[in-house]
Amino acid sequence: MSTPFSVNVNTISGLNQSSSSAPATVSASVNSDGTSVDPSTSVANSTASDNPVTAKSKDLTSDDFLKLLMTELQYQDPLSPMDNQAMMTQMAQMESIQSSNSMQKSINDMSASFKGSVSAQQSSAQSMVNATSVSLIGKKVTVKQDNVDWSGAAGQTEDIRVHLGNNDGAQVEILDDKGNILKTLQTSGKDAQNSSTVTWDGTTDAGSYAPAGTYAITIAGQDKDPSLYAFVEDTVQGVQFSSNGAKLEVGGKELTVANVMDVAPDDQTSNFGSISPSAAIELLGKKVRVSQPTITFGGKNMETVQIKVNASKSSLVGINIADAQGVIVARLKGTADATGTATFLWNGETNTGAYADPGTYSVKIDGSATNPSLYSFSEGIVDGIGASSDGVTQLRMNGQTVSLSRIIDISSQS
């Protein structure tokens, strides 16, 4: 649905009229959605090249709309003047278009500002979580255990400690990733802390061995009795950061920091020194692993850049080195060693046989989009603490400054 209007003109923008020529007629309408003006023309006794309206089509703007409306008023047929109601409707629609455009621009500006604010808050929150988790290193903690890692190695066993509360015993259930119970274990005989330990040798209730993997732990009845839970109690030896959040290295296990139930000093780990009120300062002298998504190539003669990638032991690893525009300039392949580290040395040579220009390049690892355990990293001892120009706390290691948000793993210097 559109609102039409028309104008008869005898001379517009150079149209030559004679007594024998019929007036030119210009027609246009505003669409019902108020978003555009649809022009059409009917000009008698004139050619397209003579008519400025049809000489070249284009999208009409609000200025064009006003000019066309003023032309209509100026050249309207005195015997058939424009209807006042139609003119008011057209002006109202024009106002609606302008208001809609202004509102949309304001919404877009607000959306961009909000996204920027959320991104900054997330980065700040991540840095705070990382720094807070560091302060737990050297402390004795009690952490609720939700799962157990089973390597599948012959002869391996996993001890699971269960808090019984007022119960004399409990049934421990080992579940697969689909929630199916693979193994049920019975535990009883409480110690002074109302806990008992049960051992899983990797077997299932069907008599077979479970494949290597991570399995969930549940205690029958824990949904009704919160005093029933599996837990680990030991000294925090390190902190690991991943896309799934911070994890503590406790008793040879990696446990979620959100599951910490109790924290206490440990007299046997005084080699870490007293805990400073500033968690960042506590990092001094610690060995840290940080993500290294980019590398810097200086273009010097005989220069090589080392790239380390965390991967599965003895697995094949492929990496792509891309320039600032995202164009892949070099591809390297290697094999991870027994510790799960693949090491590459890049001398700047590109896929074409030429040498890359000096600059910063990104490291893209095959499969990292679906496997967060694949990442490039660097390691070193923290020898200084500082702050960036915007006040964000940074570490100094290997002669470089590193943001706290890039920390993957922290441990005491061996």
What local confidence, expressed as pLDDT, does residue 49 receive? 46
Q: Is the pLDDT of residue 351 over 90?
A: yes
The least confident of 145-149, 176-180, 261-265, 271-275 is: 271-275
pLDDT-derived band at 26 (thresholds 50, 70, 90) equals very low
What local confidence, expressed as pLDDT, does residue 52 receive? 47
What are the CA-CA distances from residue 222 to residues 24, 189, 195, 234 (Å)?
87, 18, 14, 23
The least confident of 99-108, 178-187, 284-293, 379-388 is: 99-108
Q: Is the pLDDT of residue 182 over 60?
A: yes
Q: In the CATH scheme, what is the code of domain 139-237+248-265?
A: 2.60.40.4070
- Residue closest to 411 by CA, chosen among 308, 256, 283, 265: 283
The residue among 12 and 94 whose pLDDT is bigger is 94
The least confident of 71-80, 186-195, 354-363 is: 71-80
- Specify which of 34-43, 86-95, 120-129, 154-163 reaches the highest per-range mean pLDDT: 154-163
Burial class (CB in 10 A: 0-12, 13-18, 19+), 64: middle
pLDDT-derived band at 98 (thresholds 50, 70, 90) equals low
In the numeric block, which tokens belong to residue 279?
């968690």
pLDDT-derived band at 156 (thresholds 50, 70, 90) equals confident
What mean pLDDT value characterizes the chain? Answer: 76
What local confidence, expressed as pLDDT, does residue 56 receive? 47
Q: In the CATH scheme, what is the code of domain 287-381?
A: 2.60.40.4070
> What confidence tens digit (pLDDT) does each residue in 210-263 have?
999 899 999 999 989 988 999 998 888 888 777 667 788 888 888 887 788 877
State the Cα–Cα distance between residues 155 and 14, nearest whole angstrom: 99
Domain boundaries, the chain: 2-82, 139-237+248-265, 287-381
Average pLDDT of span 91-117: 72
Q: Is the pLDDT of residue 21 over 70?
A: no
Greatest alpha-carbon span in the chain: 117
What local confidence, expressed as pLDDT, does residue 119 receive? 59
pLDDT-derived band at 128 (thresholds 50, 70, 90) equals low
The helix-helix angle for 84-134 and 62-75 (nearest 10°) equals 170
> What confidence tens digit (pLDDT) does each residue in 291-305 have?
899 999 999 999 999
What local confidence, expressed as pLDDT, does residue 289 receive? 86
Contact 273, 312 (CB under 8 A): no
Q: Is the pLDDT of residue 281 over 70?
A: yes
> What confidence tens digit (pLDDT) does each residue in 397-413 have?
888 888 777 887 777 66
Contact 55, 48 (CB under 8 A): yes
Same fold, 139-237+248-265 and 287-381: yes
Average pLDDT of span 54-59: 48
Which residue has tokens 């964000």? 392
What local confidence, expressed as pLDDT, does residue 331 receive? 96
What local confidence, expressed as pLDDT, does residue 248 receive? 83
State the Cα–Cα distance between residues 79 and 77, nearest whole angstrom: 5
